[in-house]
Amino acid sequence: MSFSNPLRPLLSRLSMIAAVCAISSCATVPELGGMMDRGGTSGRKIVVSIKSQKAELYQHGKLVAISPISSGREGKSTPTGSFRVIEKDIDHRSSLYGNYVRNGKVVKENIDIRKGGRPPGSKFEGVPMPYFLRFTGAYGLHAGNVPGYPASSGCVRLPQRHAKRFYDAVKVGTPVVVKR
């Protein structure tokens, strides 16, 4: 006498669904998993296009990641040219732009520290710039608001998840090309 397990068809289907999910999840961004830094830049390069408002990450000439960006707005342009990542700072804060804060409350917001005075008893709190990749002077790529047009004070902003991926994939010394 043979007994049939009533759960067998359900378990079989669930196994097939799990296998399909596992395979398809590998296809989302396959190259990035194998790209994490393990010493050296491994032929990686970041190319930023001001015109198309995109940042691209290459490995050995092959495009492996792309992100929308927001570059410098009019009067605050992003420098163009060939650079290298000269600093990585996962929780960087601006030393120029931010708020004056007193007793945990903002007393003057959206300031440029080089302009105007500091309210008495307040301290400067720089704007957060997570996953900062400095490539020249005060300029770098970092997580921030990406409205679909040039809106930054000169840095290259990427959406948070893309900024983290680029940050994790490169080392100090990785080439960065910023073109019009």
Condensed to tens digits (0 to 9), the pLDDT of residues 9-33 reads 544 554 444 333 332 222 223 334 4
Q: Which fold has domain 8-179?
A: L,D-transpeptidase catalytic domain-like (2.40.440)
- CA quadruple 18, 24, 29, 32: dihedral sign: positive
Among 69, 22, 61, 66, CA closest to 44 = 61
Beta carbons within 10 angstroms of residue 128's beta carbon: 14
Contacts of 167 by beta carbon, 8 Å cutoff, 6+ apart = 88, 90, 131, 132, 133
Rounded to two decimals, the pTM is 0.75
* Stretch (H or E) spanning 97: strand 87-102
Three-state SS at 169: helix
**pLDDT per residue over 39-97, tens digit each?**
455 799 999 999 999 999 999 999 999 999 999 999 999 999 999 999 999 999 999 99
Domain ranges within the chain, ordered by starting residue: 8-179
Three-state SS at 147: coil
Among 151, 146, 129, 147, CA closest to 138 = 129
